[in-house]
Structure 1
Amino acid sequence: MRFFTNRTLVLLTILIAGLPALNRAATLDNHPHWKYGGSLPGLYYEVLAVSFDKAERFQAPDGRYRSRIPADTEQDVRSFSMYIMQYIYVPALLYVTEHEANPLAGNRRALDSALSSGDWMASIVNEEGLFVPVVDGVKTNPLDSHRALYCWAEVYGLLKNELGAERERSWREALHRGGQRLCDDMRSRMTRPRITAPFLGTSPNHFGLWCTTVNRIGMLLGLDDWVEDSRAALARFVREVAPGGYWAEHDGPTVSYDYLNTAVGAYYWHYYKDPEALDAIRANTDFHAHWTTPDGIDISTVDQRNRNHYRPRAGFGLFSFSNFPAGRRLVRLKLLAALEDKRDPFESMGLSALGRLAQDAHYHSDGPEAEIPQQIPSYRHTLAARPAVVRKNGNWVYSICALVSPDSPLNQFFLDRIMPVSLWHTRTGAIIGGGNSKGQPGIVTFAAVRNGDLDAHPLDGLLRGSWDGDTLCVAEEGFSCRLTFVTVDDNTTLIRAKAENTYNHRNTALLQLQFRLHDGGTVTVNGQSSTLSAERIEREGALRIAHNGWSASLPEGSRFEWPFYTYYPYGSVRVPENLHNAVGRAAVTLPDGEWVEVRIRVD
């Protein structure tokens, strides 16, 4: 089902009243902090302009942007990353753009900030085209410097008439050196069999962003061979979009990184007007519109790269959505959600996202808005031929993923597909969810106990469903398992599950659910309340779990524990003791051949 038509706007009074307090700013007509919150591109420019005062104040004397005023040199070094240098795009765009929401057009402070930052960028590109960032005399990590290189190239184009001969030459030569390395990497991969990580040796979003960067620098510096080769690579990239409207990184969607991929497709459409590019970003906008809950947060059950940490994403790729009426409204929903309930985008979003928000403003396609799935009473959306579904039914949104993918044990970044499910309610936000993980059998949706250990490795999965309901079917070693959601009314949903043994291992199957609990809050289990801290909570038996306005009733033989720390692919510790990302794990025994019921109620 698609929503890119001029349908009648649904009144949002009920939706606004019901959204969780944490995300009150994520409403389309309740944005008290933002004068231009009701329209684009005004909201973009208002947000960017508000962010600049703090960014300028925190900018280092050498021109680098900083996320804070460091207490000492060590903190200055530790807190820097090349990602935040994408912010260079913001003051440059504000300086050159006349718009009623932008008070910094022609402002010398904005120009000086961008020029100083660009000079620092030019100083850290060595003769081989490598970025060698130095902070207070210490070399720091140049990871993903190509993202900042793209933003700097756009700044070169915007401010070329302000640079002067010497600065223009310095920037142009450094851009050429940095771009040449990307061009070489792009050319070495552009004829690989597929644009997926296993074939590329890097993520498709990296490859796609390299292509746009090479293309843009080629345009700006008059390098025709760069433009020609990158255009060919981009044409192939947009044709790799899956029927479900996403770009696969390994196998199936990666919702979080797909924003980067759609930015690539939208860039190509902007400059080359290839109809297949428009088709790709239209399908992608449809994908993101449906796999977003009404509070603006991604539904992560299908994501193979990142778990859901319940933070709205806004920055990369929003200009792709703005090519379509419903997409423009989706942009506002996501941006207002990311801004939270305050007027401090520097804190709410961060420098990196704001840098890409400048790209969204720069490449915005203006026009009317249209209704989005979050505004209608019900919808059902699947990933074309792949077994995954998201359904909205009144106050409830649930999702089921039955994707099975080859394991990637040597790659820390690709998660195991564990057949996750999610459940969301208008008044509480997420109740069940979190997504996939890696090497954590304790949160695989269906598992079996063998010799005292959990065996949780889905062999096959499928989805049986229609408008009447959806059933997740999973084949585990020794068991055939099923799960279905039953919406009783606007405040009650049932999760029903059954396991049937195939290898004569009776009564050893488990249903495992990931409950979204807010650290620092309170959870009540069978009338006993506890603060959600690092202190362990373990309960067994017939359980009633209550938190944040919802309750879950689990049958006899169930087990609950908190905190269950979850996998994180970045950094040196794979399962950090991070309470924000922890879940409450519930395990329910599934007697052979019997339907077992978990009742979720919102008070």
Structure 2
Amino acid sequence: MSYPAQMLATLAQAIKKDFASFDADSGRFRKKPSNPPAPGARPEDIGWCVINQDIIYPLALLYKTPDNEFYRDPAILEMALRGGDAIRNFQQPDGKVEFLTTDGGRWGFIYMPWTNYAWLETYQLLLEELGPERQQQWATGLTLAHDGQAKEISTLPLHNIPAWKGMSCWRAGQIFQRPDWQAAGQAECRAVAAAQHRDGYWPEHGGPSTLYNGVYVHALGLYYLFSGDENVLPALERAAEFHQHFCYPDGTLVETIDGRCKYNQNLYLIGWPGLYCSAKGRRLAALLAGQLQAERDFSSYQGGAIASNIVHWSTAASAPILLDQEAFQVRFADQAAVFRQGPWFACLSAFLSPPVHNRWGQDRQSFFSLWREGHGLLFGGGNSKDQPEYSNFIAAGRYLPERLELLPDASGLNLYYGPVCCTLSCQISADKVTLRSSASNGTALQQFVIRLKAGQRIRRSSGEEIELSLERPICWQAPELGQELEFPGGRLRLPPGTAFRWPIFPFNPYATDGAATFGSEAGLLQARLGSTELCWEILP
């Protein structure tokens, strides 16, 4: 079975779970919030945001594509049509919509780029099924949305949302024969391509975001596939080179270098059309497509991305990527290093930026992650904000380093906190991972965030086994913990003096009150550090 056929079959299986969330009266699709209700949330707003409606593009694709169980299914068609009506009904007179989130948060009014694009492609796919009245209503709504986007994008900063708006404007101009929209979209997409960092990413808050980079790549990829504008092709080739360094072997994004977003155990479905535009990108896309799982990877249909991934799949030649190798240690632009050996994959980040004075840019404070085949991420998980417990080191009254650098052999990092230099190195063999650390010119507190969820079981040196429960927090000092800790991902040999806490919760910028998402709890290992080297070992 071809990759597009596999993806279509997986989509058909996955989308069934969303049928129960469809409200036939309103045409809205609802979903459970990922965090507690926002302060002041209205009960009727909980569970819905306009981005939920992006599912209509995948629904339309299933309806129109032969050889899947929903081909020409009238129930699927009705959901897609009523879902589009719900977008139109939610629009303001100028075509904007209120940016609600499923927790009931309210973020103002916006031309919602992901939804406008998914709606646009649904319009094009279902043109024969719309009927005159609905076609007129949808065309009016899409015209309002893209008129607004085309007028505003030249005044917006170069960023991921305007990039997507530029692509959507070009495509809408193609469908509705509006060369003014196409001109605005072309100008935006070319400007975005020119603004890319030479190392293949678009800086957000002082450095890369592996997740948001996918938004730029998706937008420019679709723009290139629609327009054939080769001005953006070099940027897509550089982006593929960037992304092939920063995927774990299961296809999930490496969060360690991301200054905005935390680790997510789902595949990120945005960005694939841009990967289709280069040989290495196509190989990476094939790896991702081969990992796609119905139950795990379809929590969101943002931008109708999975439909675009199927429609625009490329069968052109591919080229080998890092993840085709069973073992490697590679430096990336003197800013990061990635390692693979046996079941292990590790990343060290030397990206650093000053603290960002808004909620979206997180503190770059966590510089190491460790992944294990069959278990996912063990150490790391990403940065937080104003939370020293998520920092790898605290020294000289600081939890953010002023400077850091890769060691000459890229096996570790030197991190400078005022006068104190903290060193962390990583050695990987097939049967264990060894971390060594030390501090010079002063003392420090070393910390590792370890991914542990409620319901999992851990065992300390005494042999006592405990099931983690949010109702029973743990705070073990060194005598209580001992020098070993068994957890679902393996067994830790700990340096003397190690303490352990659980749970800790990160700041969530996507909740108005910063409330952590459900399931984001983690554990914290801490040890005092001086000139004597500490050794941590992680074994299967």
With structure 2 as the length reference, what TM-score do the two structures score?
Answer: 0.89
What secondary structure is seen at the aligned counterpart in 1 of 2:149?
A: helix
What secondary structure is seen at the aligned counterpart in 2 of 1:252?
A: coil
Report what 2:143 is aligned to. Answer: 176
Report what 1:25 is aligned to. Answer: none
Report what 2:265 is aligned to. Answer: 311
Query: Residue 251 of structure 1: CA displacement?
Result: 1.5
Report what 2:10 is aligned to. Answer: 47
Corresponding residue to 2:401 among 451, 458, 468:
458
In 2, distance between residues paired with 1:431 and 1:283? Answer: 29
Corresponding residue to 1:544 among 476, 484, 489:
484
Query: Residue 215 of structure 1: CA displacement?
Result: 1.8
- Cα contact 1:564–1:585 (8 A) shared by 2: yes
In 2, distance between residues paired with 1:68 and 1:512? Answer: 36
Q: Does 1:396 align with 2:344?
A: yes
Q: Does 1:413 align with 2:367?
A: no
Query: Residue 521 of structure 1: CA displacement?
Result: 1.0
Q: Structure 1 residues 429, 159: CA separation in 2 closer, same or farther (over 3 Å shift)?
A: closer
Q: Does 1:158 align with 2:139?
A: no
Report what 2:190 is aligned to. Answer: 235
- Cα contact 1:402–1:419 (8 A) shared by 2: no
Report what 1:471 is aligned to. Answer: 412
Corresponding residue to 2:304 among 330, 340, 355:
355
Q: Does 1:207 align with 2:162?
A: yes
Report what 1:532 is aligned to. Answer: 468
Report what 1:589 is aligned to. Answer: 528
In 2, distance between residues paired with 1:54 and 1:492? Answer: 40
- Cα contact 1:263–1:320 (8 A) shared by 2: yes
Q: Does 1:598 align with 2:536?
A: yes
Corresponding residue to 1:497 among 421, 437, 443:
437
What secondary structure is seen at the aligned counterpart in 1 of 2:353?
A: coil
In 2, distance between residues paired with 1:103 and 1:550? Answer: 42
- Cα contact 1:311–1:338 (8 A) shared by 2: no
What secondary structure is seen at the aligned counterpart in 2 of 1:312?
A: coil
- Cα contact 2:502–2:524 (8 A) shared by 1: yes
Corresponding residue to 2:427 among 486, 490, 494:
486
Query: Residue 520 of structure 1: CA displacement?
Result: 1.0
- CA deviation profile, 1:505-547 (whole Å, cap 9, x unmatched): x4x3122111122321111222232222222222233521211
- CA deviation profile, 1:275-330 (whole Å, cap 9, x unmatched): 3422222222232232121222211110111121x422232222222334554453
Query: Residue 42 of structure 1: CA displacement?
Result: 0.7
Return the letter of the residue paired with 1:118: G
Mapping 1:33-72, distance limit 5 Å: 36=1, 39-56=2-19, 58-62=21-25, 64-67=27-30
Query: Residue 171 of structure 1: CA displacement?
Result: 1.5
- Cα contact 1:254–1:306 (8 A) shared by 2: yes
In 2, distance between residues paired with 1:416 and 1:387? Answer: 17
Query: Residue 370 of structure 1: CA displacement?
Result: 5.6
Mapping 1:84-99, distance limit 5 Å: 84-98=52-66
In 1, distance between residues paired with 2:204 and 2:134? Answer: 39
Q: Percent identity?
A: 24
In 1, distance between residues paired with 2:456 and 2:15? Answer: 34
With structure 1 as the length reference, what TM-score do the two structures score?
Answer: 0.80
Query: Residue 49 of structure 1: CA displacement?
Result: 2.8
Mapping 1:19-418, distance limit 5 Å: 36=1, 39-56=2-19, 58-62=21-25, 64-67=27-30, 77-98=45-66, 100=67, 102-131=68-97, 145-189=112-156, 195=158, 204-308=159-263, 310-324=264-278, 326-335=280-289, 337-339=291-293, 344=295, 348-353=297-302, 355-367=304-316, 371-384=320-333, 386-409=334-357, 411-418=358-365
Q: Structure 1 residues 431, 103: CA separation in 2 closer, same or farther (over 3 Å shift)?
A: closer
* Structure 1: gaps (5+ residues): 1-35, 196-203
Corresponding residue to 1:437 among 381, 384, 387:
384
Report what 2:449 is aligned to. Answer: 514
Q: Structure 1 residues 106, 431: CA separation in 2 closer, same or farther (over 3 Å shift)?
A: closer
In 2, distance between residues paired with 1:315 and 1:290? Answer: 17
In 2, distance between residues paired with 1:367 and 1:238? Answer: 23
Report what 1:5 is aligned to. Answer: none
Q: Does 1:424 align with 2:365?
A: no
Q: Structure 1 residues 579, 539: CA separation in 2 closer, same or farther (over 3 Å shift)?
A: farther
- CA deviation profile, 1:388-414 (whole Å, cap 9, x unmatched): 1111123321111121102113x1111
Report what 2:506 is aligned to. Answer: 566
Query: Residue 575 of structure 1: CA displacement?
Result: 5.1
Q: Structure 1 residues 382, 236: CA separation in 2 closer, same or farther (over 3 Å shift)?
A: farther
Query: Residue 52 of structure 1: CA displacement?
Result: 4.8
Return the letter of the residue paired with 2:494: L
Query: Residue 143 of structure 1: CA displacement?
Result: 6.6
Q: Structure 1 residues 144, 591: CA separation in 2 closer, same or farther (over 3 Å shift)?
A: farther
Query: Residue 355 of structure 1: CA displacement?
Result: 2.6
Return the letter of the residue paired with 1:512: Q
Q: Structure 1 residues 145, 229: CA separation in 2 closer, same or farther (over 3 Å shift)?
A: closer
Report what 2:37 is aligned to. Answer: none
In 2, distance between residues paired with 1:270 and 1:424? Answer: 34
- CA deviation profile, 1:322-373 (whole Å, cap 9, x unmatched): 334554453354355452xxx557xx51352593201211222234566543
- Cα contact 1:563–1:579 (8 A) shared by 2: no
In 1, distance between residues paired with 2:160 and 2:305? Answer: 15
Query: Residue 165 of structure 1: CA displacement?
Result: 2.9
Query: Residue 227 of structure 1: CA displacement?
Result: 0.8
In 2, distance between residues paired with 1:370 and 1:110? Answer: 38
Query: Residue 181 of structure 1: CA displacement?
Result: 2.0
Query: Residue 87 of structure 1: CA displacement?
Result: 0.8
What secondary structure is seen at the aligned counterpart in 2 of 1:41?
A: helix
In 2, distance between residues paired with 1:512 and 1:363? Answer: 44
Q: Structure 1 residues 249, 178: CA separation in 2 closer, same or farther (over 3 Å shift)?
A: same
* Structure 2: gaps (5+ residues): 34-41
- CA deviation profile, 1:48-94 (whole Å, cap 9, x unmatched): 33345554554322352424699xxx866411111111011122222
Query: Residue 235 of structure 1: CA displacement?
Result: 1.0
What secondary structure is seen at the aligned counterpart in 2 of 1:314?
A: coil
Query: Residue 243 of structure 1: CA displacement?
Result: 2.5
- Cα contact 1:400–1:422 (8 A) shared by 2: yes
